[in-house]
Structure 1
């Protein structure tokens, strides 16, 4: 509507639309590829989250013990400690916060494997900002 110079009839003004995406979550991101770290950080910050980056599951596990996070978003395939191992370790420590896996592997059983490892959800890369918001808004 804006592009055509007309007004859109909406119940939400621009301020409300921006507020809708403010999740206010503290998220630990475990991702070994730097460009993916930066993209995730930017997406999550756009959604109003604070982000701490770890380069693998082992580093994330150490960071988890030193700080308070609302959620973990982890790549499932990383060196040293992958996302499956990270989720299993966190669950063995009685961590109840949500763990979201992210993978470029679109195989049908990937989501089930994430759930079996203790994750709450699995996102298939690449995912949009809207998809990320829809996943995280419940937490």
Structure 2
């Protein structure tokens, strides 16, 4: 199995997540990767989003991850439209990858880091006419796993 294929398999199961959205707030919750077939997995997250002004909202999101030889493609679950394709390279003991997605006038620069301790991080830098923020999410194996 390729290193990137191992990453895909390693994502399956439950994770706790902590997210920071620069200048906006933070979120704590859980995520689950559930195998759909040999090449795809459904990603679902749920959590409490605490906005900077004190408001708390329940947040949910889902994507479909498709295994690739050197990483994976991420698609929006509802439309199956491509969000980005992630290709991994080795960086010391970790695996890292970068991708980009253009959404109308906005640019999403994404980075993934899969750490040797089993945790992983996803970072989206969002730039556009009315957008300028960074979303950083750290995933750790759920204590129940």
TM-score, length basis structure 2: 0.30
Q: TM-score, normalised by structure 1?
A: 0.31
